[in-house]
């Protein structure tokens, strides 16, 4: 039976919905009342199901929050299960996806989304929030930085993924299909892996599409991190998008990436930056009441220089994250295992230290630091 706007059901409706009721004249009045109540309940349930949002085995109706699992089937290696949360707002609005834990030891970003899960009230939200708080379970559990230990691949380098690939590729495929393609906006959270002494910053993925770029620019400023990397050389081909935020952007879904946290630590200030930034962004998207807290004077970084070690050994930094440096300035050095200096790392250009290696271990070719070059023309 279809749920219509007719205020009072007909006898034909009763006979279809309540065939066991005897439709004699003495019983009709009571029958009509009983069936009206049953039909009302049936229609309410049907409309609730129609307006619900399901991700994996998590289903949330309007005004509800649900948790569940997104399954990645076994293939050439083991299956994995990705925790997911659906927060279905009481009012209509866009779908915002929040994803962290592609690198499972970037703890501050993971904990930040755990906080977001707790503070979001569906009754206050317009739209739907998809939250993937921990993508790389194996990295998190085994404390392995940068990669998925199951296949040795970074879980933010193989998008849009492959159904018949290794676990990282299959997980990337599932996220592309179930999260990216079903959202309207996306934020990818990172921040300071075990060996990265990092200052907070965000990426503005400048694509060349003026309308799209205006939205992502507003998103990154509404999020509130005051140092912003202009990332204009991301892949343009949706079939070779590589990064999660780029996968969304190449599919017409405005997306940004944000970073806070350092050297595997969970500092309250870093967690607060990411948590409060998320809520501010939701206000910009009209998903929460109130006005966003927008960065008024961002530091735009037009280029990022990577300094790599020329020698293996023990690394000693001489600057901290966030330090402003001049070209040629010494930023650290490497000794052999007897304490003799065998390599001095210097800044290739003037800029700000976005992160510097936070541990003594150093192999030849490892990243010593990333230096962001400041631009006044974003």
pLDDT for position 33: 57
pLDDT (tens digit, 9 = 90+) per residue, 252-264? 999 999 999 999 9
- Is 154 found in the same domain as 110? yes
- Token pair belonging to 114: 């755990």
289 is a domain residue: no
Tokens 């199951």 belong to which residue?
150
In DSSP notation, 128-174 reads: EEEEE--S-HHHHHHT--SSBTTTTB-TTSSBT--TTS-HHHHHHHH
Question: Is the Cβ–Cβ distance between 276 and 200 less than 8 Å?
Answer: no
pLDDT for position 378: 84
- Token pair belonging to 306: 């990577």
pLDDT for position 5: 42
Backbone angles phi, psi at 59, to 5 degrees: -125, 125
pLDDT for position 38: 55
- Token pair belonging to 206: 């400048």
pLDDT for position 50: 65
Q: Shortest CA distance to 266 belongs to which of 357, 191, 360, 199? A: 191
Cα-based distances in Å from 51 to 182, 262, 316, 331: 15, 41, 57, 56
- 118 burial type by CB count under 10 A (0-12 exposed, 13-18 middle, 19+ buried): exposed
Whole-angstrom distance, CA of residue 15 vs CA of residue 180: 45
**46 has a pLDDT exceeding 90:** no
**Three-state secondary structure call for residue 125:** coil
Tokens 């349930």 belong to which residue?
45
255 is a domain residue: yes
pLDDT for position 317: 98
- Is 243 found in the same domain as 103? yes
Question: Is the Cβ–Cβ distance between 55 and 86 less than 8 Å?
Answer: yes
**268 has a pLDDT exceeding 50:** yes
pLDDT for position 127: 98
Q: Shortest CA distance to 220 belongs to which of 185, 193, 192? A: 185
| First-to-last C-alpha distance (Å) of the chain | 58
pLDDT for position 4: 43
**66 has a pLDDT exceeding 90:** yes
Mean pLDDT of the 187-205 span:
97
pLDDT for position 45: 46
Mean pLDDT of the chain: 91
Cα-based distances in Å from 320 to 187, 317, 329, 354: 27, 7, 13, 9
Whole-angstrom distance, CA of residue 156 vs CA of residue 188: 10
pLDDT (tens digit, 9 = 90+) per residue, 124-179? 999 999 999 999 999 999 999 999 999 999 999 999 999 999 999 999 999 999 99
Tokens 């790392």 belong to which residue?
345
- Percent of the chain beyond pLDDT 70? 87
Query: Which CATH number do you get for residue 358?
Result: 2.40.50.100
4 is a domain residue: no
pLDDT for position 20: 47
Whole-angstrom distance, CA of residue 339 vs CA of residue 360: 12
- Is 41 found in the same domain as 15? yes
pLDDT band at 42, cuts 50/70/90? low
pLDDT (tens digit, 9 = 90+) per residue, 286-314? 999 999 999 999 999 999 999 999 999 99
pLDDT for position 280: 98
Whole-angstrom distance, CA of residue 154 vs CA of residue 147: 4
pLDDT band at 90, cuts 50/70/90? very high
- Token pair belonging to 50: 């129609």
Question: Is the Cβ–Cβ distance between 168 and 148 less than 8 Å?
Answer: yes
- Is 219 found in the same domain as 312? no
pLDDT for position 8: 40
- Is 155 found in the same domain as 27? no
* Domain span at 36: 11-50
Mean pLDDT of the 248-252 span:
98
292 is a domain residue: no
Which of 251, 284, 317 marks a domain boundary? 284
1 is a domain residue: no
**335 has a pLDDT exceeding 50:** yes
328 is a domain residue: yes
Using CA atoms in the order 227, 192, 131, 180, what is the torsion angle rounded to 10 degrees?
A: 70
* Domains of the chain: total: 3
pLDDT for position 358: 97
pLDDT for position 377: 77
- Is 62 found in the same domain as 41? no
Q: Shortest CA distance to 197 belongs to which of 250, 110, 259? A: 259
**123 has a pLDDT exceeding 70:** yes
pLDDT (tens digit, 9 = 90+) per residue, 1-31? 445 444 444 445 444 544 444 445 555 555 5
**202 has a pLDDT exceeding 50:** yes
- Is 162 found in the same domain as 264? yes
Question: Is the Cβ–Cβ distance between 95 and 113 less than 8 Å?
Answer: no
Mean pLDDT of the 334-361 span:
98
- Is 245 found in the same domain as 122? yes
Chain centroid, CA 365 distance in Å: 29
**Three-state secondary structure call for residue 214:** helix
């Amino acid at each position: 039976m279809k749920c219509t706007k007719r205020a009072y059901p007909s006898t034909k409706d009763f006979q279809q919905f309540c065939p066991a009721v005897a439709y004699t004249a003495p019983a009709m009045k009571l029958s009509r009342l009983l069936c009206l109540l049953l039909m009302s309940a049936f229609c309410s349930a049907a409309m609730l199901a129609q307006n619900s949002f399901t991700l994996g085995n998590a289903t949330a109706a309007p005004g509800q929050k649900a948790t569940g699992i997104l399954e990645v089937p076994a293939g050439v290696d083991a299956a994995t299960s990705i925790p997911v949360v659906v927060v279905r707002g009481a009012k209509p609005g866009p779908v915002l996806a929040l994803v962290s834990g592609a690198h499972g030891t970037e703890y501050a970003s993971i904990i930040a989304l755990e906080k977001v899960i707790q503070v979001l009230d569906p009754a206050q939200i317009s739209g739907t929030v998809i939250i993937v708080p921990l993508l790389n379970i194996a990295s998190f559990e085994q404390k392995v930085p940068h990669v998925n230990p199951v296949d040795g691949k970074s879980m933010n380098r193989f998008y849009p993924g492959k159904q018949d690939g290794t676990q990282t590729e299959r997980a990337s495929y599932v996220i592309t299909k179930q999260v990216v393609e079903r959202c309207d906006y996306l934020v990818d959270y990172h921040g300071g892996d075990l060996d990265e002494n990092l200052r907070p910053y965000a990426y503005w993925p400048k694509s060349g599409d003026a309308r799209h770029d205006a939205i992502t620019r507003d998103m990154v400023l509404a999020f509130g991190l005051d140092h912003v990397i202009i990332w204009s050389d991301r892949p343009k081909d949706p079939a070779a998008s590589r990064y999660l935020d780029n996968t969304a952007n190449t599919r017409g879904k405005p997306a940004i990436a944000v970073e806070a946290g350092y050297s595997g630590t969970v500092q309250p200030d870093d967690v607060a930056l990411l948590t409060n930034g998320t809520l501010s962004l939701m206000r910009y998207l009209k998903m929460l009441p109130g006005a966003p807290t927008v960065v008024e004077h961002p530091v735009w970084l037009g280029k990022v220089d990577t300094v790599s070690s020329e020698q293996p050994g023990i690394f000693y930094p001489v600057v901290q994250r966030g330090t402003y440096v001049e070209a040629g300035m010494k930023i650290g050095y490497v000794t052999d295992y007897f304490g003799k200096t065998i390599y001095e790392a210097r800044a290739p250009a003037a800029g700000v230290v976005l992160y510097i290696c936070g541990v003594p271990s150093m192999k030849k070719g490892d990243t010593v630091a990333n230096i962001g070059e400041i631009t006044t023309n974003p």
